Amino acid sequence: MSETSRFVVSADWLEEHMYDPGLMIIDGSWYLPSQNRDARAEYDAAHIPGAIFFDHDEVVDPDSDLPHTLPSPVIFEEHASAMGIGRHDTIVVYDGPGMFTAPRVWWMFRTFGAEKVFVLNGGFDRWKTAGRPVTDVPTKTAASAFIPLYDEGQLVKLHGMMGIVSSGKGQIADARALERFTGEVDEPREGVQSGHIPGAVSLPFSELVEDGSLKDLDSIRQIIQNRGLDLTKPIVTTCGSGVTAAVINLALASVGRDDSRLYDGSWTEWGSRSDTAIVKGK
Protein backbone atom coordinates (compact mmCIF):
# COMPACT_ATOMS: atom_id res chain seq x y z
CA MET A 1 0.00 0.00 0.00
CA SER A 2 1.36 3.42 -0.95
CA GLU A 3 2.33 5.62 1.99
CA THR A 4 0.63 9.02 2.17
CA SER A 5 1.76 12.24 3.78
CA ARG A 6 1.28 12.67 7.51
CA PHE A 7 0.16 16.24 6.75
CA VAL A 8 -2.96 15.37 4.74
CA VAL A 9 -6.37 14.04 5.71
CA SER A 10 -8.95 12.27 3.59
CA ALA A 11 -12.51 13.43 2.98
CA ASP A 12 -13.72 10.35 4.87
CA TRP A 13 -11.67 11.35 7.91
CA LEU A 14 -12.84 14.96 7.85
CA GLU A 15 -16.50 14.05 7.45
CA GLU A 16 -16.21 11.72 10.44
CA HIS A 17 -14.40 14.27 12.65
CA MET A 18 -15.72 17.62 11.38
CA TYR A 19 -17.63 18.34 14.61
CA ASP A 20 -14.87 17.26 16.99
CA PRO A 21 -14.01 19.80 19.71
CA GLY A 22 -10.83 21.69 18.90
CA LEU A 23 -11.05 20.99 15.15
CA MET A 24 -10.98 24.11 12.98
CA ILE A 25 -11.70 23.95 9.25
CA ILE A 26 -10.37 26.65 6.93
CA ASP A 27 -11.37 27.39 3.34
CA GLY A 28 -8.04 28.59 1.96
CA SER A 29 -9.17 28.99 -1.65
CA TRP A 30 -7.71 31.68 -3.91
CA TYR A 31 -7.66 31.91 -7.68
CA LEU A 32 -5.74 33.61 -10.46
CA PRO A 33 -7.77 36.03 -12.61
CA SER A 34 -7.41 33.63 -15.56
CA GLN A 35 -9.29 30.94 -13.61
CA ASN A 36 -12.49 33.04 -13.54
CA ARG A 37 -13.40 31.90 -10.03
CA ASP A 38 -14.24 34.09 -7.03
CA ALA A 39 -13.10 32.32 -3.87
CA ARG A 40 -15.11 34.45 -1.46
CA ALA A 41 -18.31 34.21 -3.53
CA GLU A 42 -17.94 30.45 -3.79
CA TYR A 43 -17.43 30.19 -0.02
CA ASP A 44 -20.56 32.27 0.60
CA ALA A 45 -22.54 30.00 -1.74
CA ALA A 46 -21.29 26.71 -0.28
CA HIS A 47 -18.60 25.53 2.10
CA ILE A 48 -17.90 22.65 4.46
CA PRO A 49 -19.99 23.13 7.62
CA GLY A 50 -17.96 25.00 10.21
CA ALA A 51 -15.35 26.23 7.74
CA ILE A 52 -13.87 29.71 8.10
CA PHE A 53 -12.76 31.71 5.07
CA PHE A 54 -9.07 32.64 4.90
CA ASP A 55 -8.45 35.67 2.67
CA HIS A 56 -5.02 35.38 1.02
CA ASP A 57 -5.16 39.03 -0.02
CA GLU A 58 -6.03 40.22 3.50
CA VAL A 59 -3.71 38.18 5.73
CA VAL A 60 -0.56 39.86 4.41
CA ASP A 61 2.01 42.51 5.30
CA PRO A 62 0.08 45.75 4.64
CA ASP A 63 3.31 47.67 4.10
CA SER A 64 4.59 45.44 1.30
CA ASP A 65 4.19 46.29 -2.38
CA LEU A 66 4.35 42.58 -3.22
CA PRO A 67 1.34 40.24 -3.26
CA HIS A 68 0.90 37.72 -0.45
CA THR A 69 3.86 38.85 1.65
CA LEU A 70 3.93 37.03 4.98
CA PRO A 71 2.57 39.33 7.71
CA SER A 72 4.32 40.05 10.97
CA PRO A 73 3.55 37.77 13.94
CA VAL A 74 1.41 40.55 15.46
CA ILE A 75 -0.73 40.93 12.35
CA PHE A 76 -1.09 37.17 11.88
CA GLU A 77 -2.09 36.86 15.54
CA GLU A 78 -4.84 39.44 15.02
CA HIS A 79 -6.27 37.61 11.99
CA ALA A 80 -6.03 34.09 13.43
CA SER A 81 -7.51 35.18 16.76
CA ALA A 82 -10.39 36.93 15.00
CA MET A 83 -11.09 33.67 13.13
CA GLY A 84 -11.35 31.90 16.47
CA ILE A 85 -8.29 29.74 15.88
CA GLY A 86 -5.84 28.82 18.63
CA ARG A 87 -2.28 27.63 18.10
CA HIS A 88 -3.07 24.28 19.73
CA ASP A 89 -6.19 23.56 17.66
CA THR A 90 -6.26 20.86 15.02
CA ILE A 91 -6.47 22.80 11.76
CA VAL A 92 -7.61 21.34 8.43
CA VAL A 93 -7.25 23.55 5.36
CA TYR A 94 -8.87 23.01 1.97
CA ASP A 95 -9.16 24.84 -1.34
CA GLY A 96 -11.33 24.36 -4.42
CA PRO A 97 -9.36 22.04 -6.72
CA GLY A 98 -7.18 20.60 -3.96
CA MET A 99 -3.44 21.17 -3.36
CA PHE A 100 -3.40 24.59 -4.99
CA THR A 101 -3.53 27.33 -2.35
CA ALA A 102 -4.38 25.41 0.83
CA PRO A 103 -0.72 24.41 1.34
CA ARG A 104 0.18 28.12 1.61
CA VAL A 105 -2.21 28.44 4.58
CA TRP A 106 -0.75 25.20 6.00
CA TRP A 107 2.75 26.72 5.69
CA MET A 108 1.73 30.03 7.26
CA PHE A 109 0.14 28.47 10.33
CA ARG A 110 3.15 26.22 10.82
CA THR A 111 5.49 29.20 10.41
CA PHE A 112 3.66 30.88 13.28
CA GLY A 113 3.85 27.87 15.56
CA ALA A 114 0.75 25.74 14.99
CA GLU A 115 1.73 22.06 15.11
CA LYS A 116 -1.44 20.18 14.12
CA VAL A 117 -2.09 21.56 10.65
CA PHE A 118 -3.32 19.39 7.77
CA VAL A 119 -4.51 19.77 4.18
CA LEU A 120 -7.64 18.07 2.81
CA ASN A 121 -6.83 15.72 -0.05
CA GLY A 122 -9.10 16.22 -3.03
CA GLY A 123 -10.27 19.73 -2.21
CA PHE A 124 -13.77 21.11 -1.99
CA ASP A 125 -14.65 20.42 -5.63
CA ARG A 126 -14.30 16.69 -5.07
CA TRP A 127 -16.02 16.97 -1.68
CA LYS A 128 -19.10 18.43 -3.36
CA THR A 129 -19.04 15.97 -6.26
CA ALA A 130 -19.12 13.12 -3.74
CA GLY A 131 -22.29 14.53 -2.19
CA ARG A 132 -20.71 15.32 1.15
CA PRO A 133 -22.33 17.94 3.43
CA VAL A 134 -22.12 21.60 2.46
CA THR A 135 -23.82 24.74 3.74
CA ASP A 136 -24.23 28.39 2.89
CA VAL A 137 -24.77 29.34 6.53
CA PRO A 138 -22.01 31.70 7.72
CA THR A 139 -19.74 30.14 10.30
CA LYS A 140 -19.80 31.95 13.63
CA THR A 141 -16.83 31.53 15.94
CA ALA A 142 -15.83 33.20 19.16
CA ALA A 143 -12.57 35.12 19.09
CA SER A 144 -9.61 33.25 20.53
CA ALA A 145 -6.02 34.04 21.44
CA PHE A 146 -3.59 32.73 18.85
CA ILE A 147 -0.18 33.24 20.47
CA PRO A 148 2.36 32.88 17.65
CA LEU A 149 5.74 31.21 17.88
CA TYR A 150 7.36 32.67 14.79
CA ASP A 151 9.88 30.43 13.02
CA GLU A 152 11.79 32.82 10.78
CA GLY A 153 13.78 29.86 9.47
CA GLN A 154 10.79 28.79 7.38
CA LEU A 155 11.31 31.56 4.84
CA VAL A 156 13.95 33.32 2.79
CA LYS A 157 13.91 37.03 2.01
CA LEU A 158 15.50 38.85 -0.91
CA HIS A 159 18.92 39.38 0.68
CA GLY A 160 19.14 35.72 1.66
CA MET A 161 18.08 34.61 -1.80
CA MET A 162 20.74 36.78 -3.39
CA GLY A 163 23.30 35.12 -1.12
CA ILE A 164 22.16 31.64 -2.13
CA VAL A 165 22.40 32.53 -5.81
CA SER A 166 25.80 34.22 -5.54
CA SER A 167 27.27 31.29 -3.60
CA GLY A 168 25.90 28.75 -6.09
CA LYS A 169 25.57 26.23 -3.27
CA GLY A 170 21.87 26.20 -2.45
CA GLN A 171 19.12 24.16 -4.09
CA ILE A 172 16.16 26.10 -5.52
CA ALA A 173 12.92 24.52 -6.75
CA ASP A 174 10.54 26.64 -8.86
CA ALA A 175 6.86 25.61 -8.68
CA ARG A 176 5.69 27.58 -11.72
CA ALA A 177 4.70 25.95 -14.99
CA LEU A 178 7.66 25.05 -17.20
CA GLU A 179 6.87 27.63 -19.90
CA ARG A 180 6.99 30.41 -17.30
CA PHE A 181 10.24 29.02 -15.88
CA THR A 182 11.89 28.99 -19.31
CA GLY A 183 10.53 32.41 -20.21
CA GLU A 184 8.60 31.11 -23.22
CA VAL A 185 5.48 32.98 -22.06
CA ASP A 186 5.00 36.37 -20.46
CA GLU A 187 4.44 36.63 -16.73
CA PRO A 188 0.84 37.39 -15.70
CA ARG A 189 1.85 40.38 -13.59
CA GLU A 190 2.69 43.64 -15.30
CA GLY A 191 6.29 44.79 -14.93
CA VAL A 192 7.63 41.32 -14.11
CA GLN A 193 10.18 39.88 -16.53
CA SER A 194 10.02 36.27 -17.67
CA GLY A 195 12.57 33.57 -16.87
CA HIS A 196 13.90 32.07 -13.66
CA ILE A 197 16.41 32.51 -10.84
CA PRO A 198 19.96 31.35 -11.68
CA GLY A 199 20.52 27.81 -10.42
CA ALA A 200 16.81 27.08 -9.98
CA VAL A 201 15.28 23.77 -11.03
CA SER A 202 11.83 23.54 -12.58
CA LEU A 203 9.47 21.51 -10.38
CA PRO A 204 5.88 22.47 -11.30
CA PHE A 205 3.69 21.95 -8.25
CA SER A 206 1.09 20.22 -10.43
CA GLU A 207 3.46 17.27 -10.93
CA LEU A 208 3.25 16.51 -7.20
CA VAL A 209 -0.54 16.40 -7.31
CA GLU A 210 -3.02 13.95 -8.81
CA ASP A 211 -6.77 14.59 -8.90
CA GLY A 212 -6.44 17.23 -6.18
CA SER A 213 -4.49 14.98 -3.82
CA LEU A 214 -0.83 14.96 -2.91
CA LYS A 215 0.88 11.98 -4.52
CA ASP A 216 2.20 9.10 -2.42
CA LEU A 217 5.59 9.49 -0.76
CA ASP A 218 7.50 7.18 -3.10
CA SER A 219 6.25 9.13 -6.11
CA ILE A 220 7.17 12.43 -4.47
CA ARG A 221 10.71 11.26 -3.76
CA GLN A 222 11.13 9.99 -7.32
CA ILE A 223 9.81 13.20 -8.90
CA ILE A 224 12.08 15.39 -6.79
CA GLN A 225 15.14 13.25 -7.39
CA ASN A 226 14.42 13.12 -11.14
CA ARG A 227 14.81 16.90 -11.15
CA GLY A 228 18.35 16.50 -9.85
CA LEU A 229 17.49 17.72 -6.37
CA ASP A 230 19.27 16.10 -3.43
CA LEU A 231 16.85 15.14 -0.66
CA THR A 232 19.70 14.88 1.81
CA LYS A 233 20.21 18.66 1.58
CA PRO A 234 17.92 21.66 2.22
CA ILE A 235 15.85 23.10 -0.61
CA VAL A 236 14.41 26.60 -1.07
CA THR A 237 11.11 26.86 -2.95
CA THR A 238 9.78 29.68 -5.10
CA CYS A 239 6.89 30.37 -7.48
CA GLY A 240 5.05 33.43 -8.76
CA SER A 241 4.09 35.09 -5.48
CA GLY A 242 4.89 32.56 -2.78
CA VAL A 243 1.60 30.62 -2.85
CA THR A 244 2.04 27.43 -4.89
CA ALA A 245 5.68 27.11 -3.75
CA ALA A 246 4.14 25.87 -0.50
CA VAL A 247 2.94 22.74 -2.33
CA ILE A 248 6.59 21.78 -2.72
CA ASN A 249 7.24 22.62 0.96
CA LEU A 250 4.36 20.34 1.91
CA ALA A 251 5.76 17.56 -0.28
CA LEU A 252 9.27 18.01 1.12
CA ALA A 253 8.05 17.96 4.72
CA SER A 254 6.07 14.83 3.89
CA VAL A 255 9.28 13.01 2.92
CA GLY A 256 11.18 14.26 5.96
CA ARG A 257 12.65 17.59 4.82
CA ASP A 258 11.09 19.85 7.45
CA ASP A 259 13.99 22.27 6.94
CA SER A 260 12.89 23.40 3.49
CA ARG A 261 12.36 27.15 3.18
CA LEU A 262 10.12 29.32 1.01
CA TYR A 263 11.28 32.45 -0.83
CA ASP A 264 8.36 34.67 0.08
CA GLY A 265 8.91 37.40 -2.53
CA SER A 266 9.29 34.72 -5.18
CA TRP A 267 9.40 35.58 -8.88
CA THR A 268 7.23 38.69 -8.55
CA GLU A 269 9.97 40.28 -6.49
CA TRP A 270 12.98 38.77 -8.27
CA GLY A 271 11.68 39.34 -11.79
CA SER A 272 10.66 42.95 -11.20
CA ARG A 273 14.06 44.22 -10.04
CA SER A 274 16.99 45.61 -12.03
CA ASP A 275 19.67 44.18 -9.72
CA THR A 276 18.77 40.48 -9.96
CA ALA A 277 20.15 38.05 -12.55
CA ILE A 278 17.62 36.29 -14.76
CA VAL A 279 18.02 33.12 -16.80
CA LYS A 280 15.85 31.97 -19.70
CA GLY A 281 15.60 28.51 -21.21
CA LYS A 282 15.83 25.17 -19.45
Quick one: how far is CA 65 from the chain centroid?
20
Residue 214 Cα to chain centre, angstroms: 12
Whether 8-150 and 153-270 share one fold: the answer is: yes
Q: Is 139 among the catalytic positions?
A: no
The model scores a pTM over 0.85:
yes
153-270: CATH topology:
Oxidized Rhodanese; domain 1 (3.40.250)
Q: What is the predicted pLDDT for the residue at 252?
A: 98
The pLDDT value recorded for residue 281 is 87
CATH T-level topology, domain 8-150 = Oxidized Rhodanese; domain 1 (3.40.250)
Res 33: pLDDT: 87
Q: Where in the chain are the domains? A: 8-150, 153-270
- Residue of 117, 220, 239, 251 with catalytic role: 239
Q: Measured between alpha carbons, how far is 243 from 8 in angstroms, rounded to an integer?
A: 18
For 35-42, the CB contacts below 8 A with 24+ separation are: 37/96, 39/96, 42/96
**Tens of each residue's pLDDT in the chain, 282 residues:** 469 999 999 999 999 999 999 999 999 999 988 899 999 999 999 999 999 999 999 999 999 999 999 999 999 999 999 999 999 999 999 999 999 999 999 999 999 999 999 999 999 999 999 999 999 999 999 999 999 999 999 999 999 999 999 999 899 999 999 999 999 999 999 999 999 999 999 999 999 999 999 999 999 999 999 999 999 999 999 999 999 999 999 999 999 999 999 999 999 999 999 999 999 987
Q: What contacts 31, CB < 8 A, 6 or more positions away?
A: 37, 38, 39, 96, 101
